């Protein structure tokens, strides 16, 4: 605990506090609708999000995102590993994949709306499409870059292709896959917000946009703050989980051999 | 131990064309629920749109927002980044703000931006600036921090201190890291520009896409979507080339040649 | 030293006219013919770059020869056979960092459905003991020093109970003291488990110290220059064996063989003409 309150952090906390106080004071003086005082935002935040609204708006967003991300991971890792393990497959599919991944996933949303309509499925599909690419590409790279000595060792010990894939290639590629999944998670988060802003009747993206339109300004700020908190939690949570699963990797890179 | 391979991936491109041909046939036969038009119509729409200004005018609008947003982000990121990287007190004071603002997706700022700027290019530019700012800030700080302290000592020896040292020693050394950050920021900037146009735009390629979707004009819609991918790819290639030209002295850049 | 584990005259590995050409056309191995007898310790020495790793990989059928063949117990092999295991030079790249030492050593036993889990554990433990790493069984390879990691790789190979152990410059990446320990370890393993050893190295002293026979390779494209029997007394000892007069004779002889080829090569090497130097005035100076 003592370490948290050292000089550097004290300065950081002070800055934040000073800024918040300044915001409060300026907002109260200006009385502008556009910049409500921090205290108002805070009370609205507590009022909104510790209530059924959370279940109505935040949970659907998270649910869609998790489902889409799950499929993105499963498909991305599977296809990526298979492509990466086979040089001929890699060469065959490379241009098609490069083409598909160059398209910004948000631009696909209108296509999704046309093909699937406005609903949970569209969002999940679009999220899956968008977050799949970094996962796929990183999985392919991870599989490609397995040291030949390890593959040779698997052959020497008589492992067949499936065993080699599962017992050697996948574990070797895990660090890269994890990196891809982390990027994919940020993209999934962005995609849910965007897809809810464009075509939705509920969800966090819809909430903050409609709050702005209906001039429910403190609610808008509150929604943005909630998004910030969720984003932070997701990222930190992922990094924490990654460090536990890949303890062997982080231990290895920490100690140069 | 690699087989002799031509540098151009003919198999891959062949497969790509094969896929396109299959889609073409299926679409013309009506199997693709008429929501995926034949690729040839998409290419034709792209070509026409570029020539008659329908698409090219939107490209121009997008680029205006993109360039302005990116330039502003660059200026802010580098100046604040250098300050934060060089002076510990500044870093300490701002680090919590950076840590909490950074993971906020720029799209979440769109309602806020609409509030202050209305609907229009300025609103979109502010969001783009916000999005492109963070990667470059981080890589600038990193680049400045990673400077060989000897370089600064040598400079001090020759009487180069203060702002001059910042400009003549700190900045060039950090350039490699800044350049990489710029490339990441630029990619994000393009995507965010188009996304904001999609959500709440009144001009630009993203706006065009949503217009075409609402008007049920599918070939131009797909054409614009593919165009964004193309633009992203071209710009990325350009930045790689520029980076290589201007930051040729780092080992990383040298490696890429050989 | 039990006489039942002494080398026999039975040839178990027969390499005949092996040639290996890389995909880009360069000839790595021109023509190699050699044989290995049961429980023998055979070394292959040659200058750097003479395709020793390629040779070893071709012998255990990881690579297919361009010409010639490899016969194990009289039968031609085309896939890595279970009787042979190759230990790589770069242990860091061949060991699995996500498994402990024990996990790594047990890995080759995965396919053995005939062994129970306890059997497998015991076999692994025995191999780990044999290389002297019992205390570190639950460590991860990257927590250990280079020499210890190579021991793990060797233990993993031994747990597979191969007939022949192929070693690709296994001690090149460790320091001299560790190397001596590892050399003696391989001799021990040969005695304890009756494994035949085929070692590739550029270290002539090491080859002479360890082997019953040494094959000397030429510079690439490599051929066998000479086959030399090492009649030095068993068991070998780092101090005693290396100071025997026979030892020095043999190593000097091999040095001469390899060195001579190198000299020949260098005499026929012609220096390219130096490019003309420009002076400030723009006149060229040859």
Considering the domain architecture, whether residues C272 and C152 belong to the same structural domain is answered as no
Indicate whether A125 pLDDT > 80.
yes
Query: Quick check: is C90 in a domain?
Result: no
Indicate whether C112 pLDDT > 50.
yes
Considering the domain architecture, whether residues C185 and C276 belong to the same structural domain is answered as yes
For A55, the token pair is: 């279940």
Considering the domain architecture, whether residues C178 and C252 belong to the same structural domain is answered as yes
Note whether C146 contacts A249, CB cutoff 8 Å.
no
Considering the domain architecture, whether residues A146 and A244 belong to the same structural domain is answered as yes
pLDDT, residue C184, reads: 92
Q: How long a stretch of residues is chain C?
A: 286
Range of the domain at C56: 3-83+163-285
Considering the domain architecture, whether residues C132 and C243 belong to the same structural domain is answered as no
C-beta separation of A175 from A33 below 8 A? no
pLDDT, residue B11, reads: 85
Domain end among C130, C161, C192: C161
pLDDT, residue C260, reads: 57
Considering the domain architecture, whether residues C147 and C178 belong to the same structural domain is answered as no
Q: Report in angstroms the alpha-carbon separations of C212 from B115, C190, C228.
A: 87, 12, 9
Say what percent of chain C tops pLDDT 70. Answer: 87
C98-136 burial by CB neighbour count: b if 16+ within 10 A, else e?
bbbbbbbbbbbbeeeeeeeeeebbebbbbbbebbebeeb
Considering the domain architecture, whether residues C75 and C172 belong to the same structural domain is answered as yes
Considering the domain architecture, whether residues A27 and A41 belong to the same structural domain is answered as no
Cα A152 to Cα C89: distance, rounded to the nearest angstrom: 13
* Residue C201 phi, psi dihedral angles, 5° rounding: -155, 160
pLDDT tier, A118 (very low <50, low <70, confident <90, very high otherwise): confident
Record the pTM.
0.82
Contacts of B1 in chain C (CB under 8 A): 22-23
Number of domains comprising chain A: 2
Instruction: Residue A143: name the closest of A158, A157, A164 by CA.
Output: A164
Considering the domain architecture, whether residues C154 and C234 belong to the same structural domain is answered as no
Domain spans, chain B: 11-52, 53-257
Note whether A248 contacts C140, CB cutoff 8 Å.
yes
Among the residue ranges B181-185, C106-110, C178-182, C256-260, the one predicted with the least confidence is C256-260
Considering the domain architecture, whether residues A6 and A89 belong to the same structural domain is answered as no
Reported as a single tens digit per residue, the pLDDT across A65-80 is: 999 999 999 999 999 9
Considering the domain architecture, whether residues C209 and C247 belong to the same structural domain is answered as yes
The closest CB to that of B104, out of A103, A220, A231, belongs to A231
Segment holding C219, helix H or strand E: none
For A85, the token pair is: 């393990």
Reported as a single tens digit per residue, the pLDDT across B140-199 is: 988 888 777 777 778 778 777 777 776 777 777 788 888 888 988 999 999 999 999 999
pLDDT, residue C282, reads: 41
Indicate whether B71 pLDDT > 90.
yes
Q: Report in angstroms the alpha-carbon separations of A8 from A2, A15, B91, B98, C278.
A: 12, 11, 9, 14, 58
DSSP string, C29-45: EEEEEEEEETT-EEEEE
Range of the domain at A7: 1-31
Contacts of B2 in chain C (CB under 8 A): 23-24
Considering the domain architecture, whether residues A128 and A214 belong to the same structural domain is answered as yes
Query: ipTM beyond 0.90?
Result: no
Report the gap between the CA of B53 and the closest CA in chain A (Å): 21
Chain C contact present for B6, CB below 8 A = no
Question: Chains near A, with 3+ CB pairs < 8 A?
Answer: B, C
Number of domains comprising chain C: 2
Note whether C140 contacts A152, CB cutoff 8 Å.
no
pLDDT, average across residues A75-98: 90
Contacts of A152 in chain C (CB under 8 A): 57, 62, 86, 88, 94
Reported as a single tens digit per residue, the pLDDT across A206-217 is: 999 999 999 889
Note whether C110 contacts A149, CB cutoff 8 Å.
no
pLDDT tier, C146 (very low <50, low <70, confident <90, very high otherwise): confident
Q: Which CATH number is A68's domain given?
A: 1.10.3720.10
CATH of domain B53-257: 1.10.3720.10
For tokens 């996948």, name the residue: A170
């Amino acid at each position: 605990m003592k370490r948290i309150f050292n000089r550097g952090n004290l300065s950081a906390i002070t800055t934040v506090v000073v800024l918040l106080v300044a915001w409060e004071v300026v907002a109260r003086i200006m009385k502008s609708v556009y910049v409500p005082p921090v205290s108002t935002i805070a009370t609205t935040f507590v009022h909104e999000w510790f209530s059924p609204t959370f279940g109505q708006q935040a949970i659907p967003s998270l649910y869609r995102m998790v489902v889409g991300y799950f499929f993105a991971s499963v498909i991305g890792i599977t296809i990526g590993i298979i492509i990466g393990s086979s040089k001929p497959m890699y060469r065959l599919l490379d241009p098609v994949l490069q083409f598909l991944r160059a398209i910004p996933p948000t631009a696909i949303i209108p296509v999704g709306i046309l093909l699937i309509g406005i609903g949970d499925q569209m969002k999940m599909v679009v999220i899956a499409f968008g977050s799949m690419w970094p996962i796929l590409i990183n999985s392919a790279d991870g599989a490609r870059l397995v040291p030949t000595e390890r593959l040779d060792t698997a052959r020497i010990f008589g492992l067949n292709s499936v065993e080699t894939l599962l017992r050697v290639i996948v574990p070797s590629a895990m660090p890269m896959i994890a990196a891809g999944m982390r990027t994919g998670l940020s993209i999934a988060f962005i995609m849910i917000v965007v897809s809810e802003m464009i075509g939705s009747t509920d969800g966090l993206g819809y909430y903050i946009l409609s709050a702005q339109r209906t001039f429910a300004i403190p609610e808008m700020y509150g929604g943005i703050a909630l998004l910030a908190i969720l984003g932070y939690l997701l990222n930190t949570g992922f990094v924490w989980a990654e460090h536990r699963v890949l303890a062997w990797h982080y231990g290895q890179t920490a100690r140069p051999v | 131990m690699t087989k002799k391979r031509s540098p151009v991936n003919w198999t891959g491109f062949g497969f790509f064309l094969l896929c396109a041909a299959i889609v073409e046939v299926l679409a013309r036969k009506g199997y693709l629920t008429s929501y995926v038009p034949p690729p040839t119509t998409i290419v034709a729409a792209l070509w026409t749109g570029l020539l008659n200004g329908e698409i090219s005018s939107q490209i121009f609008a997008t680029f205006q927002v993109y360039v302005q947003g990116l330039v502003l982000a660059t200026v802010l990121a580098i100046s604040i980044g250098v300050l934060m990287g060089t002076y510990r007190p500044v870093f300490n004071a701002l680090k919590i703000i950076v840590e909490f603002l950074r993971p906020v997706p720029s799209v979440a700022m769109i309602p806020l931006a609409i509030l202050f700027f209305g609907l229009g290019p300025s609103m979109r530019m502010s969001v783009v600036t916000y999005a492109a700012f963070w990667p470059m800030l981080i890589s600038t700080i990193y680049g400045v921090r990673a400077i060989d302290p000897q370089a600064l000592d040598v400079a001090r020896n020759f009487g180069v201190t203060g702002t001059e040292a910042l400009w003549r020693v700190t900045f060039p050394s950090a350039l490699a890291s800044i350049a990489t950050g710029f490339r990441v920021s630029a990619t994000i900037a393009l995507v965010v520009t188009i996304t904001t146009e999609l959500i709440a735009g009144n001009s630009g390629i993203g706006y065009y896409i949503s217009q075409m979707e609402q008007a049920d004009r599918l070939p131009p819609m797909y054409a614009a979507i593919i165009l964004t991918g193309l633009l992203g790819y071209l710009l990325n290639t350009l930045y790689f080339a520029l980076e290589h030209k201007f930051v040729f002295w780092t080992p990383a850049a040298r490696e890429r040649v050989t | 030293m039990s006489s039942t584990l002494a080398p026999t005259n039975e040839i178990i590995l027969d390499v005949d006219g092996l040639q290996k050409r890389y995909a880009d056309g360069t000839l790595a191995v021109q023509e190699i013919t050699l044989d290995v007898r049961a429980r023998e310790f055979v070394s292959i020495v040659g200058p750097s770059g003479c395709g020793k790793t390629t040779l070893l990989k071709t012998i255990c059928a990881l690579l297919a020869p361009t010409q010639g063949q490899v016969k194990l117990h009289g039968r031609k092999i085309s896939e890595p056979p279970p009787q042979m295991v190759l230990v790589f030079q770069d242990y860091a790249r061949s060991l699995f960092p996500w498994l402990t030492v024990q996990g790594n050593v047990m890995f080759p036993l995965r396919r053995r459905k005939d062994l129970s889990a306890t059997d497998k554990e015991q076999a692994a433990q025995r191999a780990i003991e044999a290389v002297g790493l019992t205390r570190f069984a639950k460590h991860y390879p990257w927590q250990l020093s280079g020499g210890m990691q190579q021991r793990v790789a060797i233990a993993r190979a031994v747990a597979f109970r191969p007939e022949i152990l192929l070693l690709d410059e296994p001690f090149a990446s460790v320091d001299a003291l560790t190397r001596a320990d590892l050399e003696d370890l391989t001799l021990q393993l040969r005695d304890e488990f009756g494994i035949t050893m085929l070692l590739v190295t550029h270290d002539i002293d090491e080859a002479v110290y360890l082997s019953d026979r040494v094959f000397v390779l030429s510079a690439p494209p490599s051929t066998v220059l000479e086959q030399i029997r090492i009649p030095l007394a068993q068991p070998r000892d780092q101090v005693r064996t290396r100071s025997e007069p026979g030892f020095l004779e043999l190593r000097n002889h091999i040095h001469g063989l390899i060195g001579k080829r190198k000299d020949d090569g260098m005499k026929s090497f012609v220096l390219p003409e130096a490019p003309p130097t420009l002076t400030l005035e723009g006149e060229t100076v040859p």
